[in-house]
Amino acid sequence: MSILSKKPTVPLYAQAHHRHMVILTSIVFICAGLLSSYVYASKMLSLRAAELAQIVETGNQERAQVLYLKQQKDALRETLPERDRLNSYFMDERSVAEFLSSVEQIGRDIGVKVETTSLGVNSGVLQVSVTIDGGFSGITHFVSLFEKMPYKLRIDRATLNAGGEGWVSQLAVSVLSFKALSKP
């Protein structure tokens, strides 16, 4: 046998060392792969946690808004009688005829004649002028009842004159609790 045909022999310790290096290198690569997978998974979990936190926050905001709207709706329902009572102290164009009928009814109830002589709206304030015919005590009683009507009234001008059979009074009144309806 010739020297060239003979395979070189590797000592056993070198073969074991080579095997250990291959195993060690494989372990290092596996650990590096596991570490990078762990870092990637941690990053993904962190992103998912942030997305979930945003979803939870959005849900909390929506729940808070729904709760707020429910509270507002409940408050509107609970205060309806008070608001209706408060609104009854204001008059608009739809209730002017009822107001004038009430004024005339007060006059009939106490025995004086009440006649509306002018009616108009000036700067959002209802202007009413009435003439009252009757006895002195009836007219003064009418004026005191008129002032007690459930509206904010201001008597701008009042006259009282002795007439043929009694007294005649003229009142110019501003209804301050008048609210004009908005035009469509």
Q: Judge contact between 173 and 154, C-beta under 8 A.
A: yes
Average pLDDT along the chain, 184 residues, taken 10 residues at a time: 60 73 88 88 88 88 90 89 77 86 94 94 91 93 92 92 87 87 58
Residue 6 has what pLDDT?
62
pTM of this structure = 0.55
Cβ density class 38-57: b for 16+ within 10 Å, e for less = eeeeeeeeeeeeeeeeeeee
Q: What phi, psi does 107 have (nearest 5°)?
A: -60, -45
